[in-house]
Structure 1
Amino acid sequence: MKRANLDLLLSVSRQRSMRVLIVMGLFYILFMGFEVPFVLKNGLGSVSQEGLFSNGNGLLNSKALALDSEENLEEKEAPVRPLDVPYKSRPERTPFSSLNFTAGIVNLSLESGILKAAKDALELGGRVLRELELIGKNSSDRGFNGVGSVNGSSSSNSELCPHSISVTGDEFSKKGRVMVLPCGLTLGSHITVVGIPRPAHAETDPKISLLKEGQYVMVSQFMMELQGLKTVEGEDPPRILHFNPRLKGDWSGKPVIEQNTCYRMQWGTSQRCEGWKSRADEETVDDLVKCEKWIRDDDNGSEESKATWWLKRLIGRTKKVTIDWPFPFVEGKLFVLTLSAGLEGYHVNVDGRHITSFPYRTGFTLEDATGLSLNGDIDVHSVFAASLPTSHPSFAPQRHLDLSDTWKAPPIPEGPVEMFIGILSAGNHFAERMAVRKSWMQHKLIKSSKVVVRFFVALHARKEVNVEVKREAEFFGDIVIVPYMDNYDLVVLKTVAICEYGVRTVSAKYIMKGDDDAFVRVDAIIDEAKKVPESRSLYIGNINYYHKPLRSGKWAVTYEEWPEEDYPPYANGPGYIISSDIANSILSDFEKHKLRLFKMEDVSVGMWVEKFNSSRPVEYVHSLKFCQFGCIEDYITAHYQSPRQMLCLWNKLRQQGKPSCCNMR
């Protein structure tokens, strides 16, 4: 009986076990039924472009991520589930351009100026490159500091930040008429200048007046400037404030005070004080008017006004009486000028009276004002600066690189891309490149690798700059080093390298060239390119027609360099687009030694496009929205933008949803 009961229990137990196994089997079949369609739907190609990254050893990042809904896939990077399959990616590239420059300029029989310069720059660049490789091997254990020095130390780290500075006139002259402000200015800082304007002298070519040939004008003026001495070595420093009293010689024939800002030789809109008080409805600066009134004619109105004021005081008149003062600067008379930094702008007082106020402009900050210069018709007796910052500013150019994975370049997709943007940059433009990474390079078309962006940098004369650029390139993955010693006349070689990268590395449909101080609206340039039928070649930008070369002056072009009387139609250099067939033709002609090189990069491209147009029609598209000088409303590109202005433009574009300039108040 007991044995029968035991057999019954075992039979029931076996049946329960079988049921459990059957249920588990059903769950497994259901699970696989959902899993297989997921794998087939996503495929390997989409996975390789979006979610998986090799760690350098052929291993996969196996971190599980949640899936987004389908409606958000276009706006967000879609994380995907890792798969146990080998990850296919493009082979790792070195940060150096793969274009054979030597082969492209072998024809030196004519000893052409630009060809000879290119040959010399490439030979010197080759030697520097070999040294750079040795430095990289010998210093591989050193961390990347991103401050422009090999060992991580910077002179600015040990530099003192005095609370006040004073110099005599003789000391000021011996220092080149520049007083260094090591840590810039801060709110409440003030500078006092004691000086005497010199008597007027005759000039036949003044910059502040228009004269006919043979005429002259008497001029007396001086310029006081706050300059960003530490911004970029080897370039004209930005004028954070330009204060220019013109006692005599202005085109208006009256004494005026002109104030402005300047970045990379691009002046902003000037503020002129001509003796009229600012309108009551005009914006103020810390509740002070931008321009005070002064007597415009050289008469005795001032003395009469003061005498009348005292007379009315004596007879007890209670109504407020204003006094008209003369122009604050007089030839041969001592003045005491105080420049102070307020909450909204700069304020200038002369001999105890407020004269003018100038509002701060975006991109020009107090902490960047590391030098005061005084030039022109003035004898300086002494200069005092007080209430200066006692610590280094947080946005010092020496500490501008943000070594975060957020700013690294996305991987290059295996298939063709819509557009490639090559940006010309100088080796020591660390701040400019970082500003581009943090601004328009964060556009979703770039983050999704539909548009690829790379900086093209030649070798710098300073070894430590080259070392830092190489490390920067290896960290961010967005720099292509062109192996020649940088030279303004050889910028055209970078353009050829851009064409090579766009055609052979990323197989782009369109190729754009830009500058590191140009802000780009990525969606807008794609829209412009798509307006032209895909079957047609295109050349888009701010195109110049019938321009003639300058034969004299700083930018003179000799007849040996350009014998023709006119330039071909060409788009301004800060931003233009060409189709891939034109870029391929440029590259082919270069490698066949048929490409004519000219020192003006944008003119060279216009010349190459004109040659291509003779065999296949090219659609020229002209648009003023590719702004050559500064920024205009509804811009496509904005040029001469400082790093802070780049960030401001990006923030405005994101917040307002439309382009809006940052150099306007």
Structure 2
Amino acid sequence: MKKKGELDVFVSVSRKRAVQLLVGVGLLYVILVGLEIPFVFRTGFGAVSHEGLNGLMGDALPLSFQLASEEDMEERTAPIRPLQVPFRVSQGLVPQGARQLTEYSGVSGLKFGHLDVNVSGKDGFSELEKTAKVAWDIGKKLWADLQSGKIQTEINKNGDARPESCAHSVALSGPEFLKRGNIMVLPCGLTLGSHLTVVGKPRSAHPEHDPKISLLTDGDESVMVSQFMLELQGLKTVDGEDPPRILHLNPRIKGDWSGKPVIEQNTCYRMQWGTALRCEGWKSKADEETVDGLAKCEKWIRDDDDHSESSKTTWWLNRLIGRTKKMTVDWPFPFEEGKLFVLTLSAGLEGYHISVDGRHITSFPYRTGFALEDATGLSLNGDIDVHAIFAASLPTSHPNYAPQRHLEMSSIWKAPSLPNGPVELFIGILSAGNHFAERMAVRKSWMQHKFIRSSNVVTRFFVALVSQGT
């Protein structure tokens, strides 16, 4: 009984000590939490996540920061729009000039300062990393130019320059055209009624071992090809890219995959070709859409025999003997190797009209996205010797060729402000810096849909900067 009593006393004392120890640990925990609370509120919850993601995100921004709404951004103006930067709500809105722009310079977790990326070589870096490095360097230089005012000075200097005069007509001889790189500049583009005349001679066919308009058959090492390209180009429409081909006229005398002479027409914008219009010697169907009342394609003799002369003789005999029935004559393909031709291209109300040696050959309707004044250059390349080029009835006033002309600074085209709560869908649109027309088209079309304009969907543009400008 005595041993049992001593055991009870020992257990009771042990329980008291355990309770006291537990209470002490609890008090210590409360004290530590109390000391940490001011630190958490002072540094923000992003510091905790920042430590947990160290090495993965680098200098990434804290997750608790949010971008200010467009209304808040409008209250803070800057002398030059490109210098405006995203503002963080958590830091509060401060008067203009109170904070320096350098405070917000770290907006990306990528670091290239310590990396020696060889853009042209194979050094273990992916193409994406190399492209990002190029964009980083170009953007850094552009940012420095913006802050120094160099770009604004160049803009003012270009604005003071006198514009090139608009000639009513332009004429070039063959040697002059060749000296200018096979391009005739039309300073103010075209207008309704403008016409271009080309006097030239197709060259004889030559062998091509890697033909672009045909395929090599078994056993053949080359294909005989004779073709040339006449193009209306928008030399002032884009910046840093190949000019768009507003009209691409490609007579293929020999070498087409069909084995017959054809005339192919098309357009190309930002390296994207449209649907080609091929004239293969058959007249357009009667129920097919016309261009200013003219057929898109006229008929010509498709085979290579000489019955065209007999056809012309029969036509004249029928006229002489007084036949009242309307007679038609079939003409050969309008272009022939080694024979001079006179091609006239005129701008109509609905499209371009092409005539050769006084006969209408084809008409190409205008396509959406191009205007007559955009056609500021005429180029001729391929198997052709140009003797002379004439352009007449040209506009005498200057249109606006600046890519920014598509911008409409109206509040109705702005994206909705960022909501305070979570969103159901975020749409990111990748775009090059000089694609003003494309961005305005997006703003005016599906971005005006009621679901996009609602507060549950956010749409934003990501404007890229790479070496090719696309």
Using the size of structure 2 for normalisation, the TM-score is 0.72
| Residue 131 (structure 1) aligned with residue 145 (structure 2) | yes
Rounded to whole Å, the distance in 1 between the matches of 2:435 and 2:263 is 34
**Kept in 1: contact 2:199–2:386 (CA 8 A):** yes
Residue 124 of structure 2 corresponds to residue 112 of structure 1 = yes
What is the aligned counterpart of 2:341 among 335, 341, 357?
A: 335
Aligned with 2:108 (options 92, 99, 119):
99
Match of 2:390 in 1: 384
Alignment of 1:350 with 2:362, yes or no, is no
User: How much does 1:167 deviate?
Assistant: 0.8
Indicate the residue corresponding to 1:232 in structure 2.
Answer: 238
Shift of 1:283: 1.6
Instruction: Using the TM superposition, give the Cα deviation of residue 291 of structure 1 relative to its aligned residue in structure 2, in angstroms.
Output: 1.1
CA distance in 2, matches of 1:184, 1:278: 30
Establish whether residue 257 from structure 1 lines up as the match of residue 263 from structure 2: yes
Give distance in 2, aligned partners of 1:262 and 1:92.
48
Could you tell me which amino acid in structure 2 is paired with residue 190 of structure 1?
H
Shift of 1:398: 5.0
Q: Counterpart in 1 of 2:376?
A: 370
Decide whether aligned partners of structure 1 residues 241 and 156 sit closer, same or farther in structure 2, where only a CA change above 3 A counts: farther
Contact map agreement 1:105 1:119 (CA 8 A) in 2: no
**1:131 Cα shift?**
3.5
CA distance in 1 between partners of 2:260 and 2:246 (Å): 26
- Aligned pair partner of 2:75 in 35, 56, 79: 56
1:194 to 180, 199, 210: 199
CA distance in 1, matches of 2:138, 2:231: 38
Aligned to 2:298: 292
1:150 matched to 2:133: no
**CA distance in structure 1 between the partners assigned to 2:74 and 2:301 by the alignment:** 74
Q: Distance in 1 between matches of 2:112 and 2:334?
A: 65
Cα offset, 1:133, TM superposition: 2.4
**Secondary structure of the equivalent of 1:441?**
helix
SS at match of 2:438: helix
Relative to structure 1, the CA distance from residue 54 to residue 207 in structure 2 (aligned partners, 3 Å threshold; closer, same or farther) is closer
State, as a whole percentage, how many aligned pairs show the same letter. 67
How far, CA to CA, are the matches of 2:300 and 2:149 in structure 1? 63
Distance in 1 (alpha carbons) for counterparts of 2:397 and 2:206: 44
Give the AA of the match of 2:124: S
Where do residues 151-190 of structure 1 align in structure 2 (5 Å cutoff)? Answer: 151=156, 153-154=158-159, 158-190=163-195
What is the CA–CA distance in structure 1 between the aligned matches of 2:117 and 2:287, rounded to whole Å?
A: 66
Give the number of the structure with larger relative contact order, counting CA–CA contacts within 8 Å between residues 6 or more apart.
Answer: 2
What is the distance in 2 between the residues matched to 1:274 and 1:282? 16
Q: Deviations over 1:438-480 (max 9, x none)?
A: 3333333343443222222345xxxxxxxxxxxxxxxxxxxxx
Please give the per-residue CA displacement for 1:100-154, whole angstroms capped at 9, x wherever unaligned. Answer: 2118996979942444664465355434423322329x96xx9xxxxxx632844
CA–CA distance in structure 2, aligned partners of residues 427 and 258 of structure 1: 33
Tell me the CA shift for residue 97 of structure 1: 7.7
1:504-583 equivalences under 5 Å are: none
SS of alignment partner, residue 195 of structure 1? strand
Q: List gaps (5 residues or longer) in structure 1.
A: 1-48, 58-87, 143-148, 460-485, 492-515, 517-665
Q: Which residue of structure 1 lines up, in the alignment, with residue 281 of structure 2?
A: 275
Supply the distance in 2 between the matched residues of 1:382 and 1:221 (Cα, whole angstroms).
Answer: 19
Counterpart contact for 2:70–2:417, Cα < 8 Å: no
| Contact persistence 1:167–1:383 (CA under 8 A) | yes
- For 1:450 and 1:320, locate their aligned partners in 2 and report how far apart those are by CA, in whole Å: 69
CA distance in 2, matches of 1:186, 1:348: 16
Question: Matches of 1:418 and 1:280 in 2, distance apart?
Answer: 53
1:172 match: secondary structure? helix
Shift in Å, 1:345 = 1.0
CA contact (8 A) 1:102 1:122 kept: no
Q: CA deviation at 1:223?
A: 0.5
- Give the direction of change, closer, same or farther, for the CA distance of 1:345–1:434 in structure 2 (3 Å limit): same
- Picking from 417, 423, 433, the partner of 1:427 is 433
Residue 203 (str. 1) matches residue 188 (str. 2): no
Cα 1:52–1:243 change in 2 (3 A) is closer
> 3-state DSSP class of the match of 2:229?
strand
Give the Cα separation in 2 of the matches to 1:118 and 1:280: 55
Report how many residues are paired: 377
Comparing 282-291 with 405-414, which one deviates more in the overlay? 405-414
User: Structure 1 residues 454 and 301 mapped into 2: Cα distance closer, same or farther (>3 Å)?
Assistant: same
Shift of 1:426: 2.3
Asked whether the 8 Å contact 1:221–1:376 carries over to 2, the reply is yes
- Secondary structure, in 3 states, of the residue corresponding to 1:196? strand
Question: Displacement of 1:236 after TM fit?
Answer: 1.7
**Alignment deviations for residues 577-622 of structure 1 (CA, whole Å, 9 cap, x no partner):** xxxxxxxxxxxxxxxxxxxxxxxxxxxxxxxxxxxxxxxxxxxxxx
- Structure 1 equivalent of residue 410 of structure 2: 404
Give the drift of 1:155.
8.1
For the structure 1 residues 131 and 392, does the alpha-carbon distance in structure 2 shift closer, same or farther, using more than 3 Å as the test?
Answer: closer
Alpha-carbon offset, residue 196 of structure 1: 0.3
CA contact (8 A) 1:102 1:119 kept: no
Q: What is the match of residue 26 of structure 2? A: none
Choose which of 237, 243, 249 in structure 1 pairs with 2:249.
Answer: 243
CA apart distance, 1:327: 0.6
* Contact 1:89–1:414 (Cα < 8 Å) also in 2: no
Q: Any conservation in 2 of the 1:193–1:383 contact (CA below 8 Å)?
A: yes
Aligned to 1:414: 420
Distance in 1 (CA, whole Å) between partners of 2:261 and 2:335 is 9
Q: 1:308 is paired with a residue of what secondary structure?
A: helix
TM-score where L is the length of structure 1: 0.52
Change (3 A) 1:284 1:126: closer
Shift of 1:365: 2.3
Q: Hey, what does 1:9 align to over in structure 2?
A: none
How far apart are 1:89 and its partner, in Å?
9.4
The separation in 2 between residues aligned to 1:434 and 1:449, in whole angstroms, is 21
Give deviations 1:481-540, integer Å, cap 9, x for gaps: xxxxx246xx9xxxxxxxxxxxxxxxxxxxxxxxx9xxxxxxxxxxxxxxxxxxxxxxxx
Equivalent position of 2:331 in the other structure:
325
Change beyond 3 A, Cα 1:313–1:118 = closer
> What's the offset of the Cα at 1:292?
1.0
CA distance in 2, matches of 1:256, 1:344: 23
Name structure 2 gaps, 5 residues minimum: 1-67, 77-88, 95-100
Q: How large is the Cα RMSD of the aligned pairs?
A: 3.3
